[in-house]
């Protein structure tokens, strides 16, 4: 666990450096990770230059009310889906008026999940530069392990998006 935490801290720092260098801002909408991404991102000195807002919308009703995810979308696709993670990223970006938005939703376990999306399924979306990139992951492990793996992958996705941006 200690090694994974060091990797996450390193990635958070690298993402922070790129955000500062490129003068970009970010907002995060989290569900299954419960604010962990926001926590790691704000552990970095100087994060107030780029980190604008973090929302933990754990329930369907908060995704609907706070993040403005239409009830029809939540019912049709489920709150754990590529569509919902994409809307979480887009809407938090719009709400916070930032350059980048991240949306994370999933089933951290030990319960939950469906045949299509079993426990350990996490969708991560990055809205940046007029594009939305969504990745589906299936993680194994305890609830805490799934959350940490999701954070690591979210930071990797963000880092890659920033590195590939002009």
Q: Note down pLDDT in tens along the chain; length 166 residues.
A: 567 678 899 999 999 999 999 999 999 999 999 999 999 999 999 999 999 999 999 999 999 999 999 999 999 999 999 999 999 999 999 999 999 999 999 999 888 888 899 999 999 999 999 999 999 999 999 999 999 999 999 999 999 999 988 6
What is residue 146's three-state secondary structure?
helix
Residue 34, judged by CB atoms within 10 A of its CB (0-12, 13-18, 19+), counts as: middle
Record the tokens describing residue 64, joined without a space.
């609907």
| Selection from 20, 46, 17, 25 nearest residue 96 by Cα | 25
How far, CA to CA in Å, does 67 sit from each of 81, 83, 90, 115, 134? 15, 13, 9, 27, 17
Q: Residue 74 and residue 42: Cα distance in Å, rounded? A: 30
pTM: 0.95
| Upstream peptide bond of 127 is cis (omega within 30 degrees of 0) | no
């Amino acid at each position: 666990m200690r090694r994974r935490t060091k990797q996450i801290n390193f990635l958070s720092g690298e993402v922070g450096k790129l955000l500062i260098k490129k003068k970009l801002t970010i907002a995060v909408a989290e569900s299954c990770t419960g604010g962990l991404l926001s926590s790691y991102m704000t552990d970095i000195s100087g994060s107030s230059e780029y980190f604008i807002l973090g929302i933990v919308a754990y329930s369907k009703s908060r995704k609907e009310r706070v993040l403005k995810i239409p009830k029809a979308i939540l019912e049709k696709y489920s709150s754990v889906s590529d569509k919902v993670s994409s809307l979480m990223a887009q809407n938090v970006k719009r709400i916070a008026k930032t350059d980048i938005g991240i949306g994370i939703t999933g089933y951290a376990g030990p319960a939950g999940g469906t045949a299509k999306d079993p426990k350990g399924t996490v969708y991560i979306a990055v809205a940046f530069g007029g594009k939305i990139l969504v990745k589906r992951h299936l993680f194994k492990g305890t609830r805490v392990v799934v959350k940490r793996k999701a954070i690591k992958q979210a930071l990797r996705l963000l880092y890659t998006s920033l590195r590939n941006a002009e």
